[in-house]
Structure 1
């Protein structure tokens, strides 16, 4: 079986995730459910895990969940990271630019070079493009970075003017990624449902919810702080499916 928690799994969070999984695995085995001893990491922690019939537990992004996965997996619950200005289990994007850039507001960045992690990212692509469009702004894609940290680096190094980082990742990068010291926050997007936990179709999602919730509650305070983790909530599937999908990068680039 496969378990992965790769969405927020770097720096001090990595060890905390290992300890969280040890608690989850112990809870599963106490109920007679077999569980892998270690989390899957690396490239196989994402699409390979999410689409596998052997998936026991993983965390995906809201955009892949609504676009490709919601009818092929079972929803377990959504971790609550206590993101400021968001309902429980929700999050938002943080727009960042270089600290020495004279532009101060998001409107000032109309037409600026935008770095994004990937086209199926809610916080890195969908939310910022939807937010910009609502304000009548254009953020033409300039750099596809492959990750939130790499988007931050693209801005810090001058290869892009602005990027949008998942608010939880933004918090986790503080004190871990030196490039963050050269960036400033410009704006935040509207809240959307956070990154859901999923399991393979046919598995007992209700039992998994109870076990994961108990494991989060049992984490030592230092690990909960490292993960910015407050608890586990349920968000209706309809709330995920109602989030708008923006045009893909190539279409927006062609309009610019």
Structure 2
């Protein structure tokens, strides 16, 4: 069996994730469920998400609605206590260089750094937010990770990025050399947060109970580092209702 919490499992909080997994594993043992001794960190996300051996993993809302729905079971959604969002929901912060004036929509004709075209927070959220104004980012730079998008903006290789608010917390905490060169110029509207999943055919209920128990038992320092408040249930329909914008390949060529 496989377990992964890769979405926020940054090197700087790896030890905290390991201890969190130990708590989940102990709670699963109480449920009579055997679990792997360690988190898997050496596989691609899609390999993990689509594996029939997946016991517990975490995906993003966009991959869930575009490809994984019906092929995995939802376990629950961690609540990170973000201000201005319902429990378990999240949003992206638009960031630009600290000395670059304007609000998010003022950057529409400039370069958007995005972590991946299957990212809800880095790609779908900013495009959906601008679509409400009849606008669309067409000048883009692919980076591969939120922290790399933030760095691209700070270093002038892009002008704006939409960063998952939980990732932005991690950037502020662990990459101050990047965060201090940026400023928040707007927010997207909240959408359901990054769900925990298990392979199709597996009962998600004991996994949800074990994860909730682990979050309740987590040490205060680890809770603060991971930003965990609880586990909530968000219906699949809420994920599926979020619009999916066209990929960047249908825009002006990526530079």
1:95-140 alpha-carbon deviations (Å, 9 max, x no partner) = 0011111x22122212111110110000000000010111233322
Deviation at 1:252, TM superposition (A): 2.6
Q: Which residue does the alignment assign to 2:130?
A: 132
Map 1:5-20 to 2 at 5 A. Answer: 5-20=5-20
* Cross-structure match for 1:57: 56
Q: Which residue is 2:29 aligned to?
A: 29
Q: Name the SS for the 1:155 alignment partner.
A: helix
> Displacement, 1:45?
5.3
Q: Is the 8 A contact 1:111 1:137 kept in 2?
A: no
Q: How many residues align?
A: 253
Q: Structure 2: state its 5+ residue gaps.
A: none
Runs of 4+ in 1 over 3 A off after TM superposition: none
Once residues 98 and 247 of structure 1 are traced to their aligned partners in structure 2, the CA distance between those partners, rounded to angstroms, is 27
Q: In the alignment, is residue 173 of structure 1 matched against residue 171 of structure 2?
A: yes
Whole-angstrom distance in 1 between the partners of 2:223 and 2:211: 13
Give 1:193's aligned residue. 192
Aligned to 1:225: 224
In the TM superposition, residue 202 of structure 1 has moved relative to its aligned partner by 1.5
**Whole-angstrom distance in 2 between the partners of 1:63 and 1:21:** 25
| Contact persistence 2:140–2:248 (CA under 8 A) | no
Whether contact under 8 Å (1:6, 1:45) holds in the other structure is no
- Please list, as runs of the form range in 1=range in 2, the aligned pairs for 1:75-86 lying within 5 A after superposition: 75-86=74-85
Judged with a 3 Å threshold, the aligned counterparts in structure 2 of structure 1 residues 223 and 45 are, in CA distance, closer, same or farther, namely farther
State whether residues 94 and 165 of structure 1, in contact with CA within 8 Å, keep that contact through their aligned partners in structure 2: yes
DSSP 3-state at the match of 2:62:
helix
C-alpha change, 1:128 and 1:94, in structure 2 (3 Å) is same
SS across alignment from 2:250: helix
**Alignment partner, residue 153 of structure 2:** 155
Unpaired stretches in structure 1, ≥5 consecutive residues: none
Give the alignment's TM-score, normalised by structure 1.
0.95
Cα distance in structure 1, aligned partners of 2:231 and 2:46? 23
The partner residue of 2:111 within 106, 110, 113 is: 113
Q: Considering only aligned residues, what root-mean-square deviation do their CA atoms show, in Å?
A: 1.4
Greater CA drift, 229-238 or 6-15: 6-15
1:17 Cα deviation (Å)?
Answer: 1.0
Please state if 1:4 is matched with 2:8. no
Provide the residue aligned with 1:48 in structure 2: 47
Which residue is equivalent to 1:90?
89
Query: Any conservation in 2 of the 1:89–1:232 contact (CA below 8 Å)?
Result: yes
